[in-house]
Amino acid sequence: MRHDAFLTAPGLVRIADYLVERLQEHGVEHVFGVPGDFVLKLFEHLEEGPLTVVNTCDEQGAGFAADAYARIRGLGAVVVTYGVGGLKVANTTAQAYAEESPVIVISGAPGLAEQAESALLHHVVKGYDNQRRIFQHLTVATAVLDDPETACREIDRVFAAALTHKRPVYIEIPRDMTMMEVPRPTSRPAGREPSDRATLAAAVEDALDMLRAAERPVAFLGLQAVRFGLLPTALQMIERASLPTAVTPLDKSAISEQHRCFIGVYAGKMSRPHVQEYVESADCLLLLGPLWTDVNLGGNTADIAPDRCIHATREQVRIGYRTYDRVRIEDFVHALAEAELPDFSHVAKPEQTDACASWRPRSGEAVSAARLFERLGCFLADNTMVIADPGDAMFGALDLPVRQDHDFLANAFYASLGFAVPASIGAQLAAPDRRPLVLVGDGSFQQTGVELSTSLRYGLSPIVVILNNAGYLTERLMMDGAFNDVLPWNYGKLPELFGKGRSWVIDTEDELEAALRGADDARDEVCILDVHLDPMDASPALRRLAERFGAAAGRPVAPV
């Protein structure tokens, strides 16, 4: 039955219809989730409407898919039932909050009449308001649509919060409210407050003074510049001033790595030596929204003095030891881009190496982690989007030469294992012209790899490279034990299990070469590459990070 089969009175709208309207307004075409009885009416309504419902194998998979979708489209949505569904997406919502990804979490709930009867209903923990109280700690706004007079205004409020703060929000719908006709709002909440003009002007002038005095500057394009849509403006400024530019792991692909101003990925001692030396010797660092987390800083191995930094964040600019509050990052970037900047085209930048020029498979030689990532770097095409799981899948990928913005997704701060495979679902649906190259360890794959079933169901075509090293390598390098092992799966048999897809089992470099060529030819299929690696074989970046973290855990790792 179509939506237009029901006609509402003038000035009224059904809650479910209004939710769909608001999602569509912001470019959302897909919602992810798992059905359950408290949300079945909403699922039915969504399925009959203009949005595509993508029901995943598990709620956590839906949450990760919605997160990836939001990072590309600017907003994502996950729909789950109460209790067993809502609490399963608590982890993915926490990640979206930590990494500033605007996801609308929509949960069904027992009906208001059922709650009034105080019945002992399934999926309920302690009390009916318990789930909302949990999500208050994981989101920037929550709403329970239990009042017809305010329901749509509450939807508007939490949508505004998600878009203003670029973080997740939570909406709970009692099931007997889903199709209720309620008043349509006549106005919308205001957006972010503008910067204080005088403070903004002072911050821009202070920043310009530091840039004009610089001889060896470096700019960073960070996560908040990406989330607030500032890349075009920031790139114009960088190009006009010929500013050498870097990114941190969480921000990789904020700038094309073929760009003339790009110098590399900086992560303290995880960085390539020439990138580390350039960044740490710079006399001015223009930081446009990066998050200074321990992983982004290479296990806190970065050596950057605050007195050399211009650090713009969502609501504040810090220049040296001076702080300018009530300055929005978007206002600061636009004002700086309009100013007269020095020309740094004379500054010598680190040279980029081209491993592809010399890479040839060594017949019969076992694949190493270093050689695997060298070959993957050559494999990337203009339509490839790299999605990496935490661990060596991500650390080894830091040097892959991605070509354009949103070509690399990784949860490099919150670092929840199992992100990459379900994220590829949301990513390819959000950007259907891109093909995901999924890099995932075998331990991570065993957590959420079943979501390849969802990829197959919806006609998606990721290339999934499984770093099969018999368990959790990152932890093994810090403190080894049987707790780091996983049961060895025959990943090459998964297409047989699924009834679709292609796979290759890879032990040698020539087998790797043949598999990548085969996956490239199978453009419309799910392709699984089971790459066998030595259990202790790690990229140099991971070994340096493990050395640092292992010492903190009480069991130092021998340096490389």
Residue 92's nearest CA partner among 58, 47, 55 is: 58
Please list the residues that pair with 79 across neighbouring strands.
33, 106
List pLDDT tens digits, range 510-543.
Answer: 999 999 999 999 999 999 999 999 999 988 777 7
Q: What whole-number percentage of the chain has pLDDT above 90? A: 78
CATH architecture assigned to 197-338: 3-Layer(aba) Sandwich (3.40)
> Is pLDDT above 80 for 59?
yes
**What is residue 2's predicted lDDT score, i.e. its pLDDT?**
44
Residue 473's nearest CA partner among 531, 556, 537, 411 is: 537
**What is residue 120's predicted lDDT score, i.e. its pLDDT?**
73
Look at 150 and 191; give whichever has higher pLDDT. Answer: 150
Determine the distance from the C-alpha atom of residue 42 to the mean position of all C-alpha atoms in its chain, rounded to a whole number.
27
Q: What CATH number belongs to 355-553?
A: 3.40.50.970
Range of lowest pLDDT (179-193, 308-322, 399-413): 399-413
Look at strands 30-33 and 284-288 and give their pairing. Answer: unpaired
**What is residue 358's predicted lDDT score, i.e. its pLDDT?**
74
Q: Which H or E run contains 354?
A: none
Q: What is the mean pLDDT of residues 21-47?
A: 96
User: What DSSP assignment string belongs to 179-219?
Assistant: T-EEEPPSS----PPPPPHHHHHHHHHHHHHHHHH-SSEEE
**What is residue 190's predicted lDDT score, i.e. its pLDDT?**
83
User: What DSSP assignment string belongs to 433-484?
Assistant: TSEEEEEEEHHHHHHHGGGHHHHHHTT---EEEEEESSB-HHHHHHS-SGGG
**What is residue 192's predicted lDDT score, i.e. its pLDDT?**
82
Tell me the Cα Rg of the chain.
Answer: 24
Domain boundaries, the chain: 3-183, 197-338, 355-553
Q: What is the mean pLDDT of residues 234-258?
A: 93
**What is residue 427's predicted lDDT score, i.e. its pLDDT?**
97
List pLDDT tens digits, range 102-161.
Answer: 999 999 999 888 888 877 778 778 878 899 999 999 999 999 999 999 999 999 999 999
What's the CATH number of domain 3-183, 3.40.50.970, 1.20.1250.20, 3.40.605.10, 3.40.50.410?
3.40.50.970
Q: What is the mean pLDDT of residues 548-556?
A: 56
> Is pLDDT above 90 for 477?
no
**What is residue 548's predicted lDDT score, i.e. its pLDDT?**
60
Whole-number mean pLDDT of the chain?
Answer: 91
Cβ atoms < 10 Å from Cβ of 520:
14
Range of lowest pLDDT (5-9, 131-135, 345-349, 426-430): 5-9
Confidence of residue 297 (pLDDT cuts 50, 70, 90): confident
In CATH terms, are 3-183 and 197-338 the same topology?
Answer: yes
